[in-house]
């Protein structure tokens, strides 16, 4: 069976992981009134696509976000960035910086489409940041860098949970606290975390997705026939000691 987790649900998990983050030894979210909703909604551009997932013509399986064609990815990312305008120009800045980084480190970085995307948002990001800083003059480069790091970290943390069943300990070497974070799976979907980064004594999170047969699919309509079993995955994070 395949478990199809919509990208917007993965992003919501990123936001849940960011909730209650920080406890003195680990820095809290910077400007949480903007950074938290930016994390939570950074993949909202996927909502329409996830309702009718494309099929990979080679594998005959639902197309992974990792293999999304360049132009389609840019279209989806653009929707996410434009949608963040309802949050703040700083949210647009953060999400655009996040996607530009993904493109710059991808196989399409040097393609004409990749270059157009990056150049377009480099200019817009300058405008959005200037807009934000004109209203928040005390926001400095260090805070901006931390905000970007926090979005990227929680995005990866969520993906790590969603992409596979985790049975071995994993250490996140690059964290917003610049402090390695080790997650050790335990029975019954419990995860021990060392050091403990949240300001609660435990954290319970979950995602939903469609459970579909692992078979060849002719097209999206063929897949939609099978997308009727909505399931849930959940994790309980607890301190390591």
Among residues 18, 17, 19, 10, the alpha carbon closest in space to that of 46 is found at 10
Instruction: Kindly state the tokens that stand for 237.
Output: 């994070």
pLDDT (tens place) for every residue of the chain, 241 residues total = 999 999 999 999 999 999 999 988 888 999 999 999 999 999 999 999 999 999 999 999 999 988 899 999 999 999 999 999 999 999 999 999 999 999 999 998 899 999 999 999 998 998 998 888 887 777 788 888 999 999 999 999 999 999 999 999 999 998 988 889 999 999 999 999 999 999 999 999 999 999 999 999 999 999 999 999 999 999 999 999 7
CA atoms within a 13 Å half-sphere pointing along the CA-CB vector of 124? 20
**What is the structure's pLDDT at 2?**
95
Q: Write out the DSSP string of 132-144.
A: HHHH-TT--HHHH
Burial class (CB in 10 A: 0-12, 13-18, 19+), 120: middle
Q: The whole model's pTM is what?
A: 0.94
**What is the structure's pLDDT at 136?**
75
């Amino acid at each position: 069976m395949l478990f199809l987790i919509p990208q917007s649900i993965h992003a919501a998990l990123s936001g849940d992981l960011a909730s209650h983050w920080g406890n003195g030894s680990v820095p809290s979210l910077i400007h949480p009134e903007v950074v938290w909703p930016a994390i939570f909604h950074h993949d909202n551009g996927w909502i329409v696509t996830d309702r009718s997932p494309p099929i990979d013509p080679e594998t005959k399986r639902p197309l992974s976000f990792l293999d999304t064609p360049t132009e389609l990815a840019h279209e989806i990312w653009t929707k996410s960035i434009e949608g963040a305008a309802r949050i703040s120009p700083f949210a647009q800045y953060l999400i655009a910086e996040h996607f530009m980084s993904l493109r710059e480190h991808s196989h399409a970085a040097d393609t004409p489409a990749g270059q157009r995307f990056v150049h377009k948002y480099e200019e817009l990001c300058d405008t959005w940041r200037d807009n934000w800083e004109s209203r928040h003059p005390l926001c400095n480069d260090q805070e901006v860098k931390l905000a970007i790091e926090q979005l990227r970290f929680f995005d990866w943390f969520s993906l790590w949970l969603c992409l596979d069943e985790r049975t071995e300990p994993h250490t996140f070497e690059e964290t917003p606290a610049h402090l390695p974070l080790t997650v050790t799976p335990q029975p019954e979907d419990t995860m021990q975390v060392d050091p403990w980064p949240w300001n609660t004594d435990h954290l319970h999170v979950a995602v939903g997705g469609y459970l579909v047969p692992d078979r060849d699919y002719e097209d999206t309509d063929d897949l939609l026939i099978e997308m009727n079993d909505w399931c849930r995955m959940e994790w309980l994070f607890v301190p390591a000691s």
